[in-house]
Amino acid sequence: MKKNIFLLFSFFILSLGCKSQSIKSQKPKLVVGIVVDQMRYDYLIRFANKYGNDGFKRLLNQGFSLENAHINYIPTYTAVGHASIYTGTTPTNHGIISNNWYDKYLQKTIYVVDDANYKTVGNNSDGGKKSPYRMFTTTITDQLHLAQNMRGKTIGIAIKDRSSILPAGHTANAAYWYDGGKQGTWISSTYYMNTLPKWVQDFNSLGKADEYLSKPWTTLYDIATYTESIADDNHFEKTFKGEEKPVFPHNIPKLRKKNKNYSLLKSIPGGNSFTVDFAKAAIIGEHLGQSTDVTDFLAISFSSTDYIGHAYGVASKEIEDTYIRLDKDLAHLFQFLDTKIGTGNYTIFLTADHAAVQVPSYLKSLKIPASYFSTKKFRKFVNEFTLKQYNSDEIVENISNYQIFLNKEKIASLHLNQNDVAQTIADEVIHYKNIYKAVTARTLQTTTFTTGVLNYLQNGYNQKLSGDVLLVTNPSVISSLYTKKGTAHGTAYSYDTHIPIIFYGNGIKKGSSKKKYNVIDIAPTIANLLQIEFPNGTTGVIINEVLKK
């Protein structure tokens, strides 16, 4: 009897060991986070007939797609999006409130990842004086490093510096971004390293940027089949310098000199292909996904989609061709991962940092309400009001990012109450054309909004960094800087917030969901998959539907 009990007990212990080993082996060797800059959810649907089976459709058919996924804060900008995706929270916690913003302590406008404490690695330009120090919280990439006692590697890659640096987090092994102009190479910062690894130097010496800039940009398929977009020759799109019309073909070799040389690569689909080439080189050069007991993380952002979207708008032939080509780039990347990492050994998520609105002048031509907002004219209006109300046009210190920053010293010298002044200004500017909401910082500090645009505004408000009066424009209103050509983003309206979120690979179920989820839910979901702690500011939730039991 004792012998039987001993055998049963031994079998139980063995089974626990096997179960533990099984759980451990289920973790992916590599997580690949993909952010497509300015990708609307409807691009998955509109261009579906032009996609192959191995890119977007592979993710949709074999992964798990969230069809009602949104960004849940204002402003919907690139830096804010990348920070929110990877920290699992909104600007109210992570502190990245825009790409550029007015620093009320320094009393000047700053750029999100600028950091004079570091130098460029890779060339003699200033393009590498960067770091993630303005991001207050940890990222999923930081947490993976902490959970593995700093073992494993985290690499960030993007043409835009902010799109590489913020996802890679504070503890990254490296972040790389593209230096255009006269350079045409991938660079980094002394925040991460003192010299570029040999594989990066070797890649830069290949001259791939010149290769992509040496041929015209033509449509991949017959342009007559691009029926999902408006006429190629229209009045709603920008042109490259040196072009008379915004039409195909775009003679890239001829246009290169007038369009900042290597920087032109950012604004054509070749920039996305170039990014995939570099990502493949990183996987090989850094031996990502090759360890048997730790998980590596590769954060990739495709930036050219944003440059092209801004110039041509969401209904253009150019944006349609860009996504058809990106679909092929993704297929090549996934096939490469199958070969180098192994099918079932990696996990992917694909999402966007924001979407975009249809070109307002195009909407107006269809009698759909849309307009343009001039910050310069608005500043004049506000100054005239404060001069009349308080006998001073120095009450306002700065207006930017649809925020009003008050001059605290001037207000004090006039013996005025700061909160009263802010509320008085908010009550007045609500009457200004195309202003939909005007809310004071005090209101956002003392009232909880759980739904609607004010909830999004509150999620994007950071008490330490944001302005004293925050504004929301009417739908389909963008900055007048766009001169009625091209488009923008930044609002809480669905055209800016409805983005794709797709999970695929190790630990992910097949399927889709129409339930509403937020982009900040990605990080805690990946953390749960990896069985590690959430980023320390997380306010998102685990998306149970996507994970295998």
Catalytic residues: 78
Structure-token pair, residue 353: 């940092």
Q: How does strand 154-158 pair with strand 120-121?
A: unpaired
**Shortest CA distance to 371 belongs to which of 432, 426, 317, 427?**
432
Q: Is 319 helix (H, G, I), strand (E, B) or coil?
A: helix
**Shortest CA distance to 4 belongs to which of 524, 12, 137, 334?**
12
In contact, 297 and 33? CB cutoff 8 Å: yes
In contact, 299 and 155? CB cutoff 8 Å: yes
Place of tokens 């509109």: 46
**Shortest CA distance to 92 belongs to which of 541, 537, 540, 542?**
537
Structure-token pair, residue 191: 């925040």
- Report the amino acid identity of residue 461: Y
Long-range pairs of 337-343 with CB within 8 A, sequence gap ≥ 24: 337/30, 337/32, 337/283, 337/289, 340/283, 340/284, 340/289, 341/29, 341/30, 341/283, 341/288, 341/289, 342/29, 342/289
In contact, 74 and 80? CB cutoff 8 Å: no
Output DSSP code: residue 474: P
Structure-token pair, residue 258: 């007038």
Place of tokens 């010298």: 413
